[in-house]
Structure 1
Amino acid sequence: MKKYKFFTNLDQEEQWLNDMARQGYTLVRKSFGYQFERSVPEEANYRIDFRTFKNQRDFEDYVALFEDSGWTHVAGTKGSGAQYFKQNGDQGNEDIFSDADSKAARYKRISDMWMTLCCCFIPIFAALISTDAIDASVILKPQSLYYTPGLWEMSGPRFWQALLFETPFALFRGIVWMVIPVMIIVYSVFAYKAKKEYDKSQQQ
């Protein structure tokens, strides 16, 4: 079974995975969605870390460290960032983090990742505007996305027919150049939310 959800709070994501385990669904893979396998309902204990690694050896050493402490690595790769662990029965500590600072640090790494992605898109967007590849004036004049001659002077059924015919093309033109600024905004929001979670974790 596959489920699609998005979390900005890792504690809530862990709780959801524990709830799924109580319903008899065990996490086996995480990419764009969560892949579960049917299993015996259990009181599971999932924990999520966020780390990326430059090489496979460092990643394998990282996984082995937790597995030696009683935690099974169930999802995540060296470049995926999110690493999912499940406690082996009653083995190991209740948490994979030794203290509050190390637990909060995962939010700092997430925030840094989103901000890095945001900063990568800003110069690209600026270059496209400066070379007139993107016309920022359409934000104030979206009607410029419509190319039908005399469209805005038409009236009655003729106007609505022409408008409805060209609207899908106008939306496509707008969506193409809006992708970059939208991604900048989205990444900024995610970075801000992760930073808020980091600050909140530091205060607890």
Structure 2
Amino acid sequence: MPDKTPDNLSKEERSALQSLKSRDDIVIKKADKGSTVVVLDKETYMAEAQRQLSDERFYKKLDSDPTKEFSTAITKTLDDMFEKNEIGINVYETLNPIDSRPGQFYLLPKIHKEGMPGRPIVSAIGHPMEKISEFIDLHLRPHVENLPSYLKDTTNYINKTPSTCLPDHTLLVTMDVTSLYTNIPHDEGIEACREVWDML
């Protein structure tokens, strides 16, 4: 049965959207914050992407796509773990990467900041590490949320703040970490996860 939901756009508006989508000289993205849609000149968008990807502190140019190599290494590790009865068949089949593809890099414009830099995002859909990341998040998230230092959002902070007046000489500050995820050292990040796990 065909969907009879009425279109909330006029024919002219629908035609304008199709016209924008067909253009190859612009990029349409949602803003990093809020519900705003941003239309960018493609050259400007690509220049910002190149600026970020050229930062060798966080990114390294490769001569070839390592996706297949990653998939093979993950499968071998899972094979070894399964043979040692460290994981069952369900976990093995869930985490084993099949028909993997590389992550897709894109930017969300930060229209609230001067120069409108982009927030780098790497879509991991289909990546060899996608299911493993989801598996780790599933098991770690409940314990991380129980840490005394955990703050989900502003509302969570307000709920944790004493309703009475704060002590004298209390100083409230905010911090913004540049390139948060690319600044987390891998070894220290793994060790932090181990510490949380060992607290269980």
Q: If the TM-score is normalised by the length of the shorter chain, which range does it land in?
A: under 0.3
TM-score, normalised to structure 1, is: 0.24
Which has more strand, going by share of residues? Answer: 1
- The structure whose residues are more often helix, as a share, is 1
Higher relative CO (Cα under 8 Å, sequence separation at least 6) belongs to: 1
